[in-house]
Amino acid sequence: MAEKKDPLRPDLWTPRPVEETIAVYANWAATYDADITARGYHTPARIAAALKTHATPDTTILDFGCGTGFSGQILREAGFGTLHGTDVTAEMLEKATERGVYAKTWLSQPGELSFGRGAYPVIVAAGVVSLGAAPPETLGALVGKLNTGGLLALSYNDPTLVDARYAETLSTEIGAGRAEVIFREHGPHLDDMDMGSDIIILRRR
């Protein structure tokens, strides 16, 4: 395992206003890919591997909170050919668009999901619905954009797993019968911080 290092960003996994979150990622865009690769970032690859058993290669996937397109690149390498990406940070989205793996990209507004229900049979949110990023209610909003049988693949890292708000939101969606868990597995997230994450795939009911 790599030597344990300081956090990628000192306040990355702490609650803060959305404007501050956007600023963090705007300032990080230029070095994001190199930073997370050096730290041993596993979550996007684990999501892609899990999805391969539940979605076909020709499925159109929305990479929600796509950032620089790092996760989209991994989804493409896993065989998923039709990807769309959106993010709330213009500087990150510019990198994603330049990467060339998305058929369509657009800048989102915080708290707004500017696509119709059923527009995507699969939505991926790698590291997005998490402490210090999107708030817990984003999970329910994304589930609400799926038609019956649609899939939401997301991750809860260790700091998020110990925040009761995120666990309760997930439990609410399942308890209300809006979604069911078809895959959940804990594994590595960032090697050099000894941090793990749960990969979760939900199916809309």
Token readout for 193 is 């911080």
- Give the Å distances, CA to CA, from 27 to 21, 23, 43, 59, 89: 10, 6, 22, 33, 10
In a domain, 155, yes or no: yes
Q: How many residues does the chain have?
A: 205
Residue 13 included in any domain: no
Residue 7: inside a domain, yes or no? no
Q: Please state the rounded mean pLDDT for residues 176-192.
A: 97
Question: How confident is the model over 80-100, as a mean pLDDT?
Answer: 97
pLDDT of residue 2: 42
Beta pairing class for 122-125 and 60-64 = parallel
For a pLDDT cut of 70, what percent of the chain falls above it?
Answer: 93
Q: What is the pLDDT of residue 25?
A: 86
- Residue appearing with tokens 């590291």: 127
Residue 8 pLDDT grade (very low, low, confident, very high; cuts 50, 70, 90): low
Query: Which domain range does residue 26 map to?
Result: 18-108+117-204
Average pLDDT score over the chain = 92
Domain annotation covers residue 12:
no
Q: What is the mean pLDDT of residues 44-70?
A: 97
Q: What is the rounded distance in angstroms from the CA atom of residue 69 to the CA atom of residue 163?
A: 27
The CATH code of the domain that includes 35 is: 3.40.50.150
Range name among 9-13, 92-96, 190-194 with the lowest pLDDT average:
9-13
Say how many C-beta atoms besides its own lie within 10 A of residue 163's C-beta: 17
Note the pLDDT tens digit of each residue in 118-159. Answer: 999 999 999 999 998 899 999 999 999 999 999 999 999 999
Tally of domains in the chain: 1
Q: Give me the pLDDT at residue 14, please.
A: 72
Helix (H) or strand (E) holding 6: none
Q: Across-strand partners of 198?
A: 156, 186
> In the 8-state DSSP scheme, what is residue 191?
G
Count CB-CB contacts under 10 A for residue 72: 27
Domain membership of residue 2 (yes or no) is no
Is residue 178 helix, strand or coil?
coil
